[in-house]
Chains A and B, each alone.
Chain A
């Protein structure tokens, strides 16, 4: 049996089922959608074991016991892995109404860790570099002369950052000076969104071309 050929046929039929959705909802799409959700959930669960749980939790602990790396005869060298292990198991308390609140300990731990990390990360990776990058001399010198164009661009950039920031003021009504700044900010936002949209179009079309090359080439052999 030619497994590759079978695979290409499966892939092609699933591709067509998904595309049928563009016309309207139909049994083919429903079929592909449910198969996709099911397979991906199962696939990721199996992968989860191989990529996360096994190498990060089970394998280190197993090796500790297998190689006798234990303190006091039973505490493994990687004893601290029991903490996330127990926190992980606590999530299953939601199935037992009486102790379901224990689930919150896992939640609180996770939320605490990542909120704490976010505080320093937002500052060091976003606020400071973005401000530092905007602080540039307005006058751009080229061969000892002021370049009017470069200077204009710098000014245009700085004004844009300020106007966008003013748009995000919440404690003042958008009237008067703040209103004008916010309005300018909206214009900058619109240009930015339009540009980013236009920039992405080509990359999205090449995705479709890729699928069509699969259907017309690998499957139907119409392209050569």
Chain B
């Protein structure tokens, strides 16, 4: 059997190996591919940039572990940006299964150059409350009604930062990383923005960008990070290349790898065609 004939019936484990190696390699090796910042991502950056130092900002983790690869890098980069600009970050979430992620992410940013940030003075983690837009509405009346205590069961009155933050209206800007509903679409835009006039920005997974982009046109969203690519753009904006930039590389090259495999398979197929008896295997739709 020639090399090409063998290639046609390639053991699929070689493909598995190739995909695995490409992903691991590009996650570990820091190389920089040019990333163009889209206006949508720039919008998120500018929204945060426009806030005066010391302003409060509400950041919502509205996703669970399934969407972590795409949305967590955004959260990390945005928190870094907020800390750097000395904004008072209030973290929360609407997805119960995402609760542990909030604490993990903030601690990770803190450990990388922001050890001086004090809990209760510079940031607060309210934890997760289930109920979607009802939670947002309740927060507009009183944050304490929605979150009597923070994630660590401390009553809000005991947190110095929360003394001036009584309702949702005290936040000029809300950022949500939203994997679906509840999130930007059904809670933050119609309630936080439309009803209570907070500026809303955020991020979503690559698959749902087209669902969210109409809100950009109507300016109900002042910016949107789309998938791993959006996160990579944000990392460029805050000049902290991390998970998403690497993930983006891995994603592009794994994608390229699959395309190359398909091309290779077809080349081998055509070069060996004459030698083989014509047989129709592969996809069949009978009719």
Contact = CB atoms under 8 A, between A and B. Distances in A.
Are A and B direct contacts in the complex by CB distance below 8 Å?
yes
Interface of A: 22-23, 167, 174, 182-183, 185-186, 189-190, 193, 201-203, 205-210, 212-213, 216-217, 222-224
Interface string B246-262: 11001100110010000
Interface in B210-258: 227-228, 243, 246-247, 250-251, 254-255, 258
Given A206-B228, A216-B24, A190 B206 contact: no
Contacts of B251: 202, 205-206, 209
B247 A174 contact: no
A202 B259 CA distance: 12
Contact of A213 (B27, B206, B258): B27
A14 to B, nearest CB: 14
A84 B23 CA distance: 50
Contact of B287 (A174, A202, A205, A222): A174
Contacts of B3: none
B19 interface: yes
A216 B247 contact: no
B69 A183 contact: no
Interface residues of B, number: 28
Contacts of A217: 243
B285 A189 contact: yes
Contacts of B27: 209, 212-213, 216, 223
Given A202-B255, A203-B206, A203-B207, A209 B285 contact: no
Nearest to B285: A186
B70 interface: yes
- Most B CB within 10 A of own CB, among A174, A183, A189, A207: A207
B270 interface: no
B195 to A, nearest CB: 30
Contacts of B112: 224
Interface in B126-168: none
B85 interface: no
A208 B27 CA distance: 11
B247 A208 contact: no
B246 A223 contact: yes
A209 B287 contact: no
Contacts of B246: 223
A205 B255 contact: yes
Contacts of B23: 205, 208-209, 212
B68 interface: yes
Interface in B65-117: 68-70, 112
20 contacts: A22-B13, A23-B13, A182-B287, A186-B285, A190-B285, A201-B258, A203-B207, A205-B19, A205-B254, A206-B227, A206-B228, A206-B247, A209-B23, A209-B251, A212-B27, A212-B250, A213-B243, A213-B247, A216-B28, A223-B28
